[in-house]
C-alpha cells in the first residue's frame, strides 16, 4: 500500500502526537494577543471496567468533592473516581442504577444521569439526580424515550435532556423524539415534543425519511448545548441533519434548522473515498455531497459573539426493518448526471463509499441524480441561527495524514485507510475552554483517536495547535473541561473518556510567557 502525500499541510508544526507537547502560539489571525507557550501534558488516567468496550463513555467532574463520575452502561452503574490527585486516581463506591446510563452532568453538588429503560428502549426513560458527596438518590424525573444526553444550564436552574426516540430494530415501534426540561428548584418537568412541526417542510436538506414516520417520530435529538445566559438550548438532530432551538424560559421549540450539505467537489473539501485504492491519503474532489450529521454541540461566546460548534460525525439508519445504507457501486446512477458512472463506481474511486438511498433521486425515476454521504469529516462553527461561520473542510484528514500517515482514517487503532469509505476520522466530541485570552476548541476523533486542539479566538479563522493522543486511549466519546479555579491542581484540565479502551485520560494545560 502506497502512502501518498499531496500536501505539506502544517509542516512547520509537525511535532508528533505525544502525551505532552509544547506549542508556540501563533500571532495575528487567531487573535492570541501575546506570544505564549501552551503545554498539554497527560498527568493521569485509569481503566474503568474490564473486557470489551462500553465501560466508560461520558464523564462529569464535581469540583466540590474532586469526584469524577463515569457512565458505565455495561454494568448499569455510575463509576466514581476520586481525582483530587489526578496523577493517582482512586476508585470509589460506584452508584448502581435502575436503567442503562447514557450521559451524566454535575452542577453545584448535584449529579444528573440520563437513564434509558432497561427492558424496552422505546419506552420512556428517566433522569435521576444524586448528591455528589453522599451519592444518595435525590429525585427521579420521567423523560422521553431513550434519553441520550443530559446537561445543566450554566446557572443551574435547568436540567435539559435530549430524548433520541430511536425505533426498534424492525422499525415497527418508532417513538417520538423529545426534549426534557426540569426546573431544579421546584422539580417541575416539561417533556416537549415536535408534533407542532408535523407536515412542515423544514428545508435546507433537513431529512425526514423513516418509513411511515411523522416528523415528530423521525426526529432524533442527540446532544444539547445551552447559551451562556441559560435562556436558550440548541439540540442536534443528527440523523435529520438539523438543529432544534429551544426557549428554556417558555419551554417551547422555537425553530428547527436544516444544516445544508457539504460539497466534496470544492477545492478545500477533498476526501479519500476508498479503502481499496492501495493509496493512503488519496485526497481528491468527487461529485458527492456530505450531510453534516452533527453529534456533539457546544455553545461559545467569543469577544461578544455567540456561536455553536458541532462535531460532524455522520450517522446512518441501518436496521433490520429499514436501512438507508448502500455503497456507490450498488446504486443506479443517472446517466445524464453521471456520464462517467462506470468509472466512478470502481472500488478504487467512489465504488466503496457508503451513501444513502433516502436522498438523491431528485426526479423520482428510480436512479440517483446526486450522491450523498454521511458526515462532513469536520467541525463547524455556526451562528446561532445556523449560518456557517467556518468549516474545517478537509483539514482534519490532511492534518492527521501529515502528522502520522499510519493513523489516517484508521479504525480505532487498526490499519490506516480502513474508514476512508465510511466517515473518515469521525469527529465525535467538542468542547471549548478559555485559557488566558484565548478560546481553545477540543475535537475528539472517535475512529482515529486523540484530541485535536485549535485556537478559535477568531472564529472565522481558527488555528490548529496540536493533536494529542496516547496509544492506550482508543475512541474518545466524551470530553470534560475543568477550569483552573475548579481544578485540583489549579491548572486547566481536559478529561477524555474513551469508549473502546474503557480508559479515562487527564491532561493538564499550562501556559508560559516566552
Asked if residues 480 and 497 have their Cβ atoms less than 8 Å apart, the reply is yes
Helix (H, G, I), strand (E, B) or coil at 90: strand
Beta-carbon contacts of 201 under 8 Å, excluding residues fewer than 6 positions away, are none
pLDDT of residue 3: 55
Asked if residues 414 and 431 have their Cβ atoms less than 8 Å apart, the reply is no
pLDDT of residue 25: 32
Beta-carbon contacts of 175 under 8 Å, excluding residues fewer than 6 positions away, are 122, 123, 144, 145, 146, 165, 166, 167, 217
Helix (H, G, I), strand (E, B) or coil at 76: coil
Q: Which of 139, 241, 140, 256 is nearest to 192 (CA)?
A: 256
Strand 2-3 versus strand 279-280 pairing type: parallel
Q: Could you give the CA distance from residue 276 to residue 4 in angstroms, rounded to a whole number?
A: 14
Question: Which fold would CATH assign to domain 2-44+53-209+218-315+375-513?
Answer: Methylamine Dehydrogenase; Chain H (2.130.10)
pLDDT of residue 6: 41
In the beta sheet, which residues pair with residue 189? 182
Q: Which of 385, 215, 238 is nearest to 317 (CA)?
A: 238
Mean pLDDT by 10 residues, the chain (514 residues): 45 35 35 66 95 92 98 97 98 98 98 98 98 98 98 98 98 98 98 98 98 98 98 98 98 98 98 98 98 98 98 98 98 98 98 98 98 98 98 98 97 95 98 96 97 98 97 96 97 97 97 71
For residue 20, the number of C-alpha atoms closer than 13 Å in the C-beta half-sphere is: 6
pLDDT of residue 31: 37
Please give the span between the terminal C-alpha atoms of the chain, in angstroms, as a whole number: 43
User: DSSP string covering 439-495, please?
Assistant: EEEEEEETTT-SEEEEE-SSTTS-EEEEEE--TT---EEEEEEE-GGG-TTSSEEEE
Q: Which of 144, 148, 208, 203 is nearest to 176 (CA)?
A: 144
pLDDT of residue 512: 74
Q: Does pTM surpass 0.85? A: yes
Q: Could you give the CA distance from residue 322 to residue 326 in angstroms, rounded to a whole number?
A: 12
Strand 124-131 versus strand 137-145 pairing type: antiparallel
Asked if residues 503 and 46 have their Cβ atoms less than 8 Å apart, the reply is yes
User: DSSP string covering 353-422, please?
Assistant: -EEESSS--TTSSSSBSS-EEE--SSEEEEETTS-EEEE-TTHHHHHHHHH-GGGTT-STTS-TTTTTTT
Amino acid at each position: 500500500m502506497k502512502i501518498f502525500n499531496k500536501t505539506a499541510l502544517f509542516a512547520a508544526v509537525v511535532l508528533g502526537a505525544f502525551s505532552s507537547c509544547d506549542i508556540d502560539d501563533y500571532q495575528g489571525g487567531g487573535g492570541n494577543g501575546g506570544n505564549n507557550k501552551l503545554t498539554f501534558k497527560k498527568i493521569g488516567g485509569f481503566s474503568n471496567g474490564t473486557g470489551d468496550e462500553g465501560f466508560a463513555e461520558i464523564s462529569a467532574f464535581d469540583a466540590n468533592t474532586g469526584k469524577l463520575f463515569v457512565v458505565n452502561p455495561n454494568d448499569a452503574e455510575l463509576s466514581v473516581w476520586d481525582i483530587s490527585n489526578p496523577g493517582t486516581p482512586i476508585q470509589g463506591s460506584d452508584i448502581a442504577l435502575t436503567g442503562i446510563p447514557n450521559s451524566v452532568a454535575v452542577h453545584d453538588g448535584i449529579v444528573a444521569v440520563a437513564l434509558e429503560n432497561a427492558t424496552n428502549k422505546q419506552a420512556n426513560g428517566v433522569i435521576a439526580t444524586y448528591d455528589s458527596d453522599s451519592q444518595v438518590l435525590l429525585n427521579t424525573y420521567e423523560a422521553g424515550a431513550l434519553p441520550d444526553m443530559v446537561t445543566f444550564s450554566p446557572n443551574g436552574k435547568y436540567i435539559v435532556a435530549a430524548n433520541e426516540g430511536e425505533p426498534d430494530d424492525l422499525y415497527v415501534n418508532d417513538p417520538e423524539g423529545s426534549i426534557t426540561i426540569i426546573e431544579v428548584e421546584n422539580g417541575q418537568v416539561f417533556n416537549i415534543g415536535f408534533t407542532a412541526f408535523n407536515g412542515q417542510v423544514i428545508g435546507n436538506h433537513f431529512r425526514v425519511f423513516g418509513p411511515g414516520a411523522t416528523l415528530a417520530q423521525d426526529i432524533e435529538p442527540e446532544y444539547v448545548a445551552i447559551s451562556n445566559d441559560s435562556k436558550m438550548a440548541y439540540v442536534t438532530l443528527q440523523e435529520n441533519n438539523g438543529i432544534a432551538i429551544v426557549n428554556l424560559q417558555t419551554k417551547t421549540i422555537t425553530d428547527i434548522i436544516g444544516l445544508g450539505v457539504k460539497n466534496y467537489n470544492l477545492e478545500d473539501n477533498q476526501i479519500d473515498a476508498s479503502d481499496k485504492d492501495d493509496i493512503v491519503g488519496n485526497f481528491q474532489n468527487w461529485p458527492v455531497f456530505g450531510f453534516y450529521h452533527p453529534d456533539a454541540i457546544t455553545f461559545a461566546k467569543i469577544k461578544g459573539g455567540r456561536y455553536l460548534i458541532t462535531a460532524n460525525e455522520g450517522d446512518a439508519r441501518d436496521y433490520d426493518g429499514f436501512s438507508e445504507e448502500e455503497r456507490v457501486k450498488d446504486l443506479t446512477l443517472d446517466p445524464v448526471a453521471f456520464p462517467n458512472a462506470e468509472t466512478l463506481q470502481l472500488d478504487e474511486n467512489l465504488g466503496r463509499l457508503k451513501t444513502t438511498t433516502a436522498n438523491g433521486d431528485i426526479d423520482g425515476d428510480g436512479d440517483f441524480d446526486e450522491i450523498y454521504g454521511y458526515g462532513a469529516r469536520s467541525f463547524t462553527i455556526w451562528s446561532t441561527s445556523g449560518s456557517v461561520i467556518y468549516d474545517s473542510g478537509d483539514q482534519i484528514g490532511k492534518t492527521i495524514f501529515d502528522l502520522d500517515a499510519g493513523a489516517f482514517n484508521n479504525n480505532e487503532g487498526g490499519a490506516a485507510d480502513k474508514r476512508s469509505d465510511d466517515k473518515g476520522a469521525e469527529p465525535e466530541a467538542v468542547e471549548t475552554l478559555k485559557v488566558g485570552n484565548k478560546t481553545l476548541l477540543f475535537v475528539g476523533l472517535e475512529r482515529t483517536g486523540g484530541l485535536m486542539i485549535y485556537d478559535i479566538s477568531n472564529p472565522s479563522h481558527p488555528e490548529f495547535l496540536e493533536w494529542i493522543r496516547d496509544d492506550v486511549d482508543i475512541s474518545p466519546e466524551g470530553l470534560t473541561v475543568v477550569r483552573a479555579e475548579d481544578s485540583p491542581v489549579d491548572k486547566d484540565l481536559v478529561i477524555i473518556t474513551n469508549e473502546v479502551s474503557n480508559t479515562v485520560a487527564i491532561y493538564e494545560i499550562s501556559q508560559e510567557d516566552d
